[in-house]
Structure 1
């Protein structure tokens, strides 16, 4: 383990004009992990632009390494113990939105309170639709907009891609004890409200449009899906997070962020259990 004096010296060497020396210092500090963070933060606003730039880049790398460790811990849990909200928060942090856990939880709690207040009069399914899509006006977002992928910004802007809006639906519904799940369609993502007699499939990307099993089964059959009943079954939290990462991989590929593509691919691999999500 490096001493405090050694860590301070290594930070100063990040500005060395000899690239090999600076690279070696970078590697040593990266290997020191979180122990190096206070010394890097002390140089965050250093007047030397070379040092300042490398310090900030290394702090971001260490942040992502620590975040990946949290992701590994989450992925090691059994499917029943995987927390969708925690996973969405970690994905948002991967995209650069940090420190929003309490704000997200407070917002979802408040929305759940509104749903709970509506339920005695209209029932759970209708209460969810009225609150989320009529009152709060959650609407379809753009696949190419990062803010429409990540839960904190989806809640703030009320715009999201299908799976992000479905995640909002699920997280709110579960807060009030409703039987809500995700449904991983081949090229779309729905929420399911598992009513006792027949499930309702909610297209959160289409202002909460409700479909019944028979309708979706016919659509899938016409598209050549062999076993629509499997596609229309609830999927696990692991599958939801895996699909979210797939969307992020396509997003970062489209904008040429190869390092983020590599990190997202690694997160997908971490999430895989026994060869499948």
Structure 2
């Protein structure tokens, strides 16, 4: 995964943490971000959680400590009224506003828990990111819902809500995912949030990272469409053509072909 992308470089470091990636993503959007101050704030929260934890604890108690500290006392909560606001995805903004989406609040919970000596892992539950506290025999926690601890019944209800009542709770939904996979999910959220707001330049920045990290044709398609919207038709043509070459029988092939034809026409007009 050789690349000049700074995210790629961070992910290649040994023992990289999700917070390292989240802070880099936040700094790209906010160049004056004080990274050291942000980390000190996380250190303070982690120290408080460690004091409450003491020398001996259980996964359930660890989860309760995190829920009480972050979501009861400090008031962090899931943003329901303005869910697609990009600020919900940037760790620095989440710390200031105390609102976020499931994955950003999970990253916060992981960062604080790890500082307190807890084992807190990201769980790539479809449609609703969770954490697991205490390893394979531990407890599942929902940071978006004020740190609620979920048993089997709660997990099945969440699966029915997120995926539809007819979908079973597959064991793979409850497995921890690595830093790269979490990063891809964070970037996909940012891409969609900025695109919904019409901020195609920031959406394209997220897409650039996604292309570098995954090489997936679908991300090249999305980047091409964003380039088209930004009237950078040469770049749009290159990405859209690459998508069609990789996915000639895609359901959206006809639509993308038309967009590619238009991009090429516009690029030729610029050249002439």
Select which of 156, 174, 178 maps to 1:232.
174
**Residue matched to 1:105:** 39
SS of the residue 1:192 aligns to: strand
Show the counterpart of 2:73.
Answer: 135
**For residue 55 of structure 1, what is the aligned residue in structure 2?**
none
With normalisation by structure 1, the TM-score equals 0.66
Larger radius of gyration: 1
Number of residue pairs the alignment of both structures matches: 206
Q: CA deviation at 1:262?
A: 2.1
Q: Secondary structure at the match of 1:191?
A: strand
Are the aligned partners of 2:123 and 2:177 in contact in 1 as well (CA < 8 Å)? Answer: yes
Alignment of 1:17-56 (within 5 A): none
Structure 1 residue 100: deviation in Å?
Answer: 2.0
Shift in CA distance, 272/227, structure 1 to aligned 2, threshold 3 Å: farther
Correspondence for 2:84: 144
Equivalent residues of 1:199, 1:212 under 8 A apart: no
Structure 2 partner of 1:266: 208
Is the 1:184–1:190 Cα contact (8 Å) retained in structure 2? yes
Classify the secondary structure of the residue corresponding to 2:177.
coil
Q: Is the 8 A contact 1:100 1:152 kept in 2?
A: no
Q: Residues 118, 271 of structure 1: CA spacing in aligned structure 2 closer, same or farther, 3 A cutoff?
A: same
- Aligned position for 1:212: 151
Q: Indicate if the aligned counterparts of 1:220 and 1:228 stay in contact, CA closer than 8 A.
A: no
Partner deviation per Cα, 1:147-191 (whole Å, 9 max, x = no partner): 221111111221111111000000111112211011112111111
Unaligned runs of 5+ in 2: 218-272
Other structure's SS at 1:72 match: helix
**What RMSD over aligned residues (CA atoms) do the two structures have, in Å?**
2.6
Q: TM-score, normalised by structure 2?
A: 0.68
User: Which runs of 5 or more residues in structure 1 are unaligned?
Assistant: 1-67
